Amino acid sequence: MVVNSVNFFIFFSIVFVSYYFLFNGRSKAQNILLLLASYFFYGFAEWKMLPLLLVATCVFFVLGIAIWKYNNNSSSRKASALTNLGVILGIGLLLYFKYLNFFIQSFSDFFNALGLQTRWGVLDIVMPLGISFFTFKLIAYVIEIYRGRIQPSRNFVDFAVYIAFFPTILSGPIDRPNTLLTQLSRGREFDYDLALIGLKRIFWGMFMKMCVADRLAIYGDAVFNNAEHHNGTSLTFATLLYPIQLYADFAGYSEMAIGVGALLGFKITENFKRPFFSQNIAEYWRKWHISLTGWLTDYVFMPLNIYFRNIEKWGSIFAIIITFVLIGFWHGADWKFALFGLYHGLLYIPLMLSGAFFKKNKMKKTESGLPTFNAISKMFGTFLLVAFGLILFRTTGLDQSILVTQKIFTSWGSLFVDSKTLINGLLCMTILLYKDFRDEFFPIMHEQGRPQGFVKRYGYELTVSVYIVLILFLGVFDGSQFIYFKF
């Protein structure tokens, strides 16, 4: 049941009406409704994994209270042990469901290559949807309690909603506990202006997914899925389009999730901030999948950086490379994802050695507010580096990645063009990039309250109407599933 489906519209309409017309402002009743809705939503996608989600939630709920108790009773060793247990359990869930078969197969292939035959077979394991997202919430919860940044939730319903919140459980954003739990403790009343903001973001996310991502996917799939039959020109063009397709697909989901959250009275963590206007790879990752990179920065990079502090810059380099290899593996149980992460980690080395990583990279602009030629060249260079690295992400395996790379540098010819699909896709892509450009360089500053004048006064309503028209005329209504659902 994806967010841009008829099933979700029916489901959410029932939740929305009950949420405000029956339980308006009553936090306990609203949270019980959200928990039931979230479990129904998750069960609709994968009902067999509901017990796992419930058991994991119960275990970490108890762990959080115990960690807080021992911390306050000066039993730091016991609190530390329980925190480590929580981290191990969270990582253990990921290792078993997502990576166990991968490691079994990898070791089997390794020993077979050495001439040592093994009889190891992969296990019949079904990977739960959203496991990469809800396990990170669970781990963050116990760590934040141990560090004394939050108090444990004493309300199981609130905590369970935080873990299973239906707009974000399948593809994020990965909310920190202090972000959502605080909001769950208060009753939510219907706010017309906030609801319009939510609708605006939902329909913009639908435009990104249905008009940009799914349009570009038609061309990209035709090229990448038949890479052996296409020349380097077509593969280069598809490679340059893929970062925008991936951005529109994933950021589109995030926009819809944030919009649904706003309709329910919540402020969800922002996940993207116009990443293609970044001047180096560090800035790009500060703007791309922000909730994941922020999570790994706090719980992986910073502890590793402290551990390696005796070797100064090289310690930070080791920490960043390990972090990015983990980012790669987070995306999937495949060596190509590890190489994807390693590639991005290596791109940090020049920034680390030059000291640019530790500085705020303020963009230089002309008097009119536009970026200078030097800034544009840096943004274009960063985009090319990102696009090249995503070959590993898009292709089905290392063999195809090598084939695509070889053809890009050796086999040029006429460009494959599916005119109608490509023209519509490029048109929608232009609208997306124009909006990001406008928001990046000419942000609209609003006074408190709504501005005067018909167009300004009804700006949100008009914007939502425009998005709906664009979706109806240019959207793909039988498009593919969201890319990040498989992660």
Determine the Cα–Cα distance for residues 87 and 21; give it in Å rounded to an integer. 40
Which of 399, 435, 66 has the alpha carbon at shortest distance from 244? 435
Sign of CA dihedral 452, 455, 459, 461: positive
Which of 384, 385, 420, 472 has the alpha carbon at shortest distance from 222? 420
Residues 342, 324 contacting (CB under 8 angstroms):
yes
The active-site residue, picked from 230, 331, 344, 446, is: 331
Q: How many CB atoms lie within 10 A of CB 151?
A: 15
Which of 203, 237, 241 has the alpha carbon at shortest distance from 471? 203
The burial class, CB within 10 Å (0-12 / 13-18 / 19+), for 427 is middle
* Token pair listed for 423: 């023209």
| 164 Cβ neighbours under 8 A, 6+ residues apart | 35, 38, 39, 42, 53, 57, 134
| 380 Cβ neighbours under 8 A, 6+ residues apart | none
Q: Is 331 a catalytic residue?
A: yes
| 347 Cβ neighbours under 8 A, 6+ residues apart | 281, 385, 389
Residues 455, 185 contacting (CB under 8 angstroms):
no
Residues 177, 144 contacting (CB under 8 angstroms):
yes
Which of 273, 284, 287, 280 has the alpha carbon at shortest distance from 439? 273
- What is the rounded end-to-end Cα distance, in angstroms, of the chain? 17
CA dist 51 → 47, 222, 453 (Å): 8, 40, 54
**475, β-bridge pairs:** none
Q: What are phi and psi of 371, to 5 degrees?
A: -70, 150
CA dist 151 → 241, 284, 400, 422 (Å): 45, 33, 49, 52
Instruction: Give, as one character, the DSSP assignment of residue 48.
Output: G
- Catalytic amino acids? 331
